[in-house]
Structure 1
Amino acid sequence: MKSAVTRPAVWLTAASLLLLAANLRPLFPSTAILLPELTRALGLTGAQAGYLTTLPVLCMGLFAPFAPRLAQRTGIERTLLLVLALIAAGTALRGVLGVTGLFLGTGLAGAGIALGNVLLPSLVKRDFSDRAALMTGLYTMSLVGGAALAAAVTLPVTRALDGRWDLGLALWAVPGVAALAAWAPIALRAPGRPAGGRHILPVDGLRRDGLAWAVTLFMGLQSALAYCVLGWMAPMLRDRGLDGTEAGLVTSLSILLQVAACLLTPVAAARCRDQRGLAVVLAAAATLALIGMILGPRWAIWPLAVIQGIGQGGLFALALMLIVLRSGDAHVAAHLSSMAQTTGYVLAASGPLLIGVLHDWAGNFRASTGLLAVLGVCTALAGWRAGRNALVRATVVQAADGAAAGAS
């Protein structure tokens, strides 16, 4: 059910939501672009570097189930305030206490990102159901825009700080604090315990529904590909001979193209009879371009980065849009989002980890192209199944009297 709030309040929420979304991805490219420096300074092995890129993705899967429960107890708005506090604290902690602070802060921020990932689609479904495609596009655009900014400026800023990688990482807590200040008035005005339709009701039958599992697999597989890009594209490019600044710029270009794809894909998806063909085309573009960046000629890296960004951004936006399109209401959307991101991100964690293991074993990134090809094919297959025009069959359990309302 849509919350009864005034139009100015809704658009203030929208603006603050976009600022919040911009803080959900800088953790990944800011670590990736400095991975060679971190490895040298802290003596990390290839396996440890793989664990570092995998840790936040794993945390996103492990902590996602808690998001609907926290929202049930304290409300979506106050849970998102906690999200920003965790991200800001965890991001800052990466720059202190050496290896311990790096891993602990990364895990803490990953937990915050997990909660935010789950609740944003539900908030869009609740407050912007008549503009779901536009708002999904805008917040995913803001989300990947934050990642693009981190990829572009982290290394130059670190070098300007006399090579202080710890400061280069910790400075990304500043945008989190700014978003915390913007979101706090909204959260504190919201009721402490949701009431009157604002809470997230239990849902029955979701895990027995094949379409829900297709959406979950599509989310997880495209995420595995995405976190291979966020965690390893810059090191892949540096391995090919690009210097750190150019590798960061190429990565930033790829992510910036994701911004455009994130804005346009939900609109295109909403106008299609189904989204099966769109999912296959985007999966092929993202996967083949990334493999080409590893194996192809160096002159092709920049144009392939454009294609990869369009494909990857489109996949991510489509995965989030499918949660909205396949759900009957905001309650189902919250639980489908939790299911997709719990199972999906645990699955996704294997991608960057295996890239690190394969690199450690082979001494280069060419050995990872087979893994990327398998991920691409599986993503396309899952997207074909999840893209059919239907709703997941789930039942919303009404808390007041125990009656159930069908949401199929």
Structure 2
Amino acid sequence: MKPPPTPRLAAWLMAASLLLLATNLRPLFASTAILLPELTQALGLSGAQAGYLTTLPVLCLGLFAPLAPRLAQRSGIERTLLLVLVMIIAGSALRGVLGVTGLFLGTGLAGAGIALGNVLLPSLVKRDFPDRAALLTGLYTMSLVGGAALAAAVTLPLTQALGGRWELGLALWAVPGIVALAAWAPIALRTSGRSANGRHILPVEGLRRDGLAWAVTLFMGLQSALAYCVLGWMAPMLRDRGLDGTEAGLVTSLSILLQVAACLLTPMVASRFRDQRGLAVFLAASATLALIGMILGPRWSIWPLAVLQGIGQGGLFALAVMLIVLRSGDAHVAAHLSSMSQTTGYILAACGPLLIGVLHDWTGDFQATTGLLAALGIGTALAGWLAGRNALVRAAVVQDPSRIAAQAS
């Protein structure tokens, strides 16, 4: 019989599998965005319908996030993440069949799986890597954004290589999920579904009455609204300015690749400061002003502004995830703060790409969206200033077994 891995090797295998899983949490958004003009033409989508398509997965992130702690209470984090991968694989594949119906159903199914993964991964970092939380948060967010960058760069060339068949270009993103499933399944299946060794998430009380928790929630939501405007609309914005599809995808990919670097560095920088207020304001200003400049500025400035935008946007996302870890006293509080911030935050974030689509439909260009982007940037900076203060959220873990059972039912 093969001996079990040593604790150190098991930790490294867990970390590597976690990062592979995280890589699958963003290709859904970028692959849809980069093919949006082709989808609109092939399926006859209106501007509003295109807005609904880019908004749907973001809305799913908010609607399904509350289920994550409950599922983890019943089955454990590892097995819930196994379900996450199955949903992403099935949803990604479904986008390539049944026309408009499959496109929307598959996007919704994969979005629901991503919602569960978003909530549970920060809690897993807090639980299993408490002494390396900044490093693992950076690597996790880097992998997550890296998946989006890869999708932005290769989706259109792959689709063109497949004879312009957009349905194959979208469905192919089930393949990385299958690879991650093969790596994660042994970890999940080794974990007893009803073990009492701390693998489950316990309920907490008082979180929604805490002002700091709401500041973290608003910061997550507003920076996410900016992020999904970038993921959903940067490529169409650039194509509207006259760039061809391949160049627009490369600019978007460059911006997202810079997000990868910012995701790795920001948590380590943030952990060195007593608080993170100034960093939050700086990153919000960089991401917002650069995005507005890409819409209104001269064409020669698009590439350098994409660099600045990527650094700001990636830093904002990594900081939002890091604040969930820094402001939580333990893994149980982190899971529920993650759920709260992503439930409310992503429902708020869904308004961003939807309003971009509506404004573009009304005016015929993207210049009218700059006021909305400026408002999102100012709101993000204010929320980050409040969430960045050095304190812990006030929430108590419920230890009464009868109350735990009641809340899990």
Structure 1 segments, 4+ long, off by >2 Å, are 399-403
Report the residue type matching 1:12 in the other structure: L
Residue 22 of structure 1 aligns to a residue whose secondary structure is helix
Unpaired runs of 5+ in structure 2? 1-5, 405-409
Asked if the contact 1:72–1:193 (Cα under 8 Å) also holds between the matched residues in 2, the reply is no
The separation in 1 between residues aligned to 2:113 and 2:400, in whole angstroms, is: 28
Does 1:53 pair with 2:30? no
C-alpha distance after superposition, 1:110-140 (max 9, x if no partner): 0000000000000000000000000000010
C-alpha distance after superposition, 1:191-211 (max 9, x if no partner): 112413221111000000000
C-alpha distance after superposition, 1:271-312 (max 9, x if no partner): 001000000000000000000000000000000000000000
C-alpha distance after superposition, 1:73-96 (max 9, x if no partner): 001000000000000100010000
Partner of 1:65: 66
Residue 29 of structure 1 aligns to a residue whose secondary structure is helix
The separation in 2 between residues aligned to 1:234 and 1:55, in whole angstroms, is: 18
Partner of 2:258: 257
Partner of 2:288: 287
Partner of 2:126: 125
Percent of aligned positions that are identical: 86
Report the residue type matching 2:162 in the other structure: L
Partner of 2:170: 169
Report the residue type matching 2:13 in the other structure: L
The separation in 2 between residues aligned to 1:198 and 1:400, in whole angstroms, is: 15
Size of the aligned set, in residue pairs, is 399
Asked if the contact 1:359–1:365 (Cα under 8 Å) also holds between the matched residues in 2, the reply is yes
Does 1:322 pair with 2:317? no
Partner of 2:216: 215
C-alpha distance after superposition, 1:177-233 (max 9, x if no partner): 110111000000001124132211110000000000000000000000000000000
Partner of 1:181: 182
Does 1:137 pair with 2:131? no
The separation in 2 between residues aligned to 1:183 and 1:343, in whole angstroms, is: 29
Rate the CA distance shift 1:402–1:351 in 2: closer, same or farther, 3 A: closer
Does 1:224 pair with 2:225? yes
C-alpha distance after superposition, 1:142-181 (max 9, x if no partner): 0000100000000011001110000000001000011011
Report the residue type matching 1:354 in the other structure: L
The separation in 2 between residues aligned to 1:396 and 1:157, in whole angstroms, is: 49
Asked if the contact 1:74–1:194 (Cα under 8 Å) also holds between the matched residues in 2, the reply is no
Q: Superposed, which structure 2 residues align to 1:298-313 within 5 Å?
A: 298-313=299-314
Report the residue type matching 2:324 in the other structure: I
Residue 254 of structure 1 aligns to a residue whose secondary structure is helix
Report the residue type matching 2:152 in the other structure: A
The separation in 1 between residues aligned to 2:266 and 2:49, in whole angstroms, is: 36
Partner of 1:406: none
Partner of 2:390: 389
Residue 25 of structure 2 aligns to a residue whose secondary structure is coil
The separation in 2 between residues aligned to 1:399 and 1:168, in whole angstroms, is: 50
C-alpha distance after superposition, 1:309-364 (max 9, x if no partner): 00000000000000000000000000000000000000000000000000000000
C-alpha distance after superposition, 1:8-31 (max 9, x if no partner): 111101000000000000001100
The separation in 2 between residues aligned to 1:115 and 1:337, in whole angstroms, is: 10
Q: Superposed, which structure 2 residues align to 1:2-401 within 5 Å?
A: 6-400=7-401
Residue 271 of structure 1 aligns to a residue whose secondary structure is coil
The separation in 1 between residues aligned to 2:90 and 2:165, in whole angstroms, is: 19
Residue 329 of structure 2 aligns to a residue whose secondary structure is coil
Residue 271 of structure 2 aligns to a residue whose secondary structure is helix
The separation in 2 between residues aligned to 1:401 and 1:296, in whole angstroms, is: 60
Report the residue type matching 1:161 in the other structure: L
The separation in 1 between residues aligned to 2:29 and 2:373, in whole angstroms, is: 19
TM-score, normalised to structure 1's length?
0.97
Asked if the contact 1:258–1:310 (Cα under 8 Å) also holds between the matched residues in 2, the reply is yes
C-alpha distance after superposition, 1:50-78 (max 9, x if no partner): 00000000001000000000000001000
Unpaired runs of 5+ in structure 1? 404-408
Q: Could you tell me how far 1:402 is from its partner in structure 2? A: 6.6
Asked if the contact 1:60–1:345 (Cα under 8 Å) also holds between the matched residues in 2, the reply is yes
The separation in 2 between residues aligned to 1:367 and 1:85, in whole angstroms, is: 40
Report the residue type matching 1:169 in the other structure: L
Q: Could you tell me how far 1:246 is from its partner in structure 2? A: 0.1
Residue 85 of structure 1 aligns to a residue whose secondary structure is helix
Asked if the contact 1:203–1:331 (Cα under 8 Å) also holds between the matched residues in 2, the reply is yes
Partner of 2:3: none
Partner of 2:407: none
Asked if the contact 1:23–1:176 (Cα under 8 Å) also holds between the matched residues in 2, the reply is yes
Q: Could you tell me how far 1:401 is from its partner in structure 2? A: 7.6
TM-score, normalised to structure 2's length?
0.97
The separation in 2 between residues aligned to 1:233 and 1:133, in whole angstroms, is: 29
Asked if the contact 1:72–1:194 (Cα under 8 Å) also holds between the matched residues in 2, the reply is no
Report the residue type matching 1:132 in the other structure: A
The separation in 2 between residues aligned to 1:59 and 1:148, in whole angstroms, is: 21
Q: CA RMSD in A?
A: 1.0
Report the residue type matching 2:367 in the other structure: R
Residue 392 of structure 1 aligns to a residue whose secondary structure is coil
The separation in 2 between residues aligned to 1:29 and 1:247, in whole angstroms, is: 12
Residue 397 of structure 2 aligns to a residue whose secondary structure is strand
Residue 195 of structure 1 aligns to a residue whose secondary structure is coil
